[in-house]
Structure 1
Amino acid sequence: MARLAPASSPLTLLVILLLARFAYSFATPDIPLNWTTLASCAVDNPERIIAGDITTQTADNTPASCIESCAAQGFGYAGVEFGNECHCGTGLNDALQKAPDSDCNVACAGDSTLACGGSWRIQVYTIFALRPGSWAYQGCIADTPDTPALTDSSAQAPFATNLDLINQCLQACSRLGFTFAGVENAGTCQCSNGGLATDSQKMDEAECNSLCPLPGDAGFEFCGGVERMAVFKFTG
């Protein structure tokens, strides 16, 4: 006569539940160097979500060590994935698709109490200025062939996406040592050391009405307008 398999005991079920909870219970990581979290867990792909992705695998990988490594190389975006992967880059290739935090379930190679992403799941971090100091908004400035907004401006190569464009532009100008940066019509970034042109014209803020998407579900930001540049100055 066949015997029925015994039902799981309450103690066994309790152990299973505790193990499952522990598997996803990680400490909150320290975020150094005034960086901030863009996504506590996001979807990555073979083409990589971080623009210009440089990936290294390290035995001491944590969010903090990855951020410090990316910052030391002049990158403004960092991500940890699959335990030992540190990703550095210059921006984002696409909008971040948020994943459940429980998907980032692989412990960091350098600290098993912390999560470092998962399988095609990445934790993403950035900083809003690469040098000590801050950028101050100068206003919505007319930028036409006859009345340029900036003197001695240097246009940046197009970014992979205009996602988080202001941050991408400030980082690019900062890396190159410029003290002025401007975004225009949700797609152009210019850098300058000469600053505002002597005959520059400040326009009504409503004319800087072109929208750029922000990461995750943060919505949009204003990124200049048609022949209108949102200008920022590095204050040191």
Structure 2
Amino acid sequence: MIGLLLVEATQNAKSQGTDSWYEYLLRAFLSYPLNQAFLFCGTSKYEREYKRPDHRFISLSKAQNINRLCRPNTFNIFANHPRLLSVPTSSSVNMKSTTLSALGLLLSVGPINANPLQSLNPRAETPIPGYTYQGCFTEATNQRALINKTYIDDSLTVERCAAVCKNYAKFGVEYSRECYCGDVLQPGSNSAPAGDCSFTCAGNAAETCGGSNRLDVYQKNPPPPPPPAYTAKGCYTDDPNNRALTGFSTVNEALSVELCAAICKGYTYFGVEYFRECYCGNTLAPSSQPAQAGECNSPCSGDNTEICGGASRLNLYQFN
């Protein structure tokens, strides 16, 4: 697993001395072997407290839950190559007049990006069958974004939260181990930058479970529409002296395709003809043959947006 630090050069910052925390950080990483990763906890506020390398760096092999090793609002930084911690090449930056701040963490498997300072999305949603990922969201104003159910689990995964919230329209994972369920996001919960949701799940480091006061929100997909009750077979000929369908027939001034289908329920076929005629049957007479679609051109008397056959022409349907 490769850790990549994203850094930003903030110009016109207060001049820093040679012992500033970020310069020490750069020099310290240079002393470690290549292709090894370490964790750093701290901000410039704790510069003196974290001076000693044994306090700053923890080998990744010892990190069981990397998001819980540092105090909230401290930097969580990984590096496996000292060149990943270089000044951006897009501009000439004086280290003594620049503040470097950690923007996010990218964990990936495979080769390092050729430009480690390129802006990257540090997280990716976990595909959950039956759900659509909606994005990273803030908590609501003075309350949780999802209020119907709360579940805390030191082995939390996105799949586990989905199972807990199966009876709700939405679920969200937060701060590695927190799961929230609800049908709607409460007022004040707004979309947040994707990088704000970068905490790995407590139960699966390959998944992302929100961030500090940030939720990865998933929405349950609507159920698929039921399969159609019948299938249109096309326009067919119908001889008044030898009807295509002989099981039952009726004339109705309010006729529509749906009404004829209801009338013929229990039969194999039904057909609508000449504005207002409805026919039902279990077999189609051999004399009835496919006709040109344009020959079925009579609007239904009960719904003129539908076609109900034509003169001696039947729009034929088969029940599924």
TM-score range, shorter chain: 0.3 to 0.5
Question: Could you say which structure has the greater relative contact order, defined with CA pairs below 8 angstroms and 6 or more residues apart?
Answer: 1
- Computing the radius of gyration from Cα coordinates, the structure with the larger value is 2
Task: Normalising by structure 1, report the TM-score.
Answer: 0.45
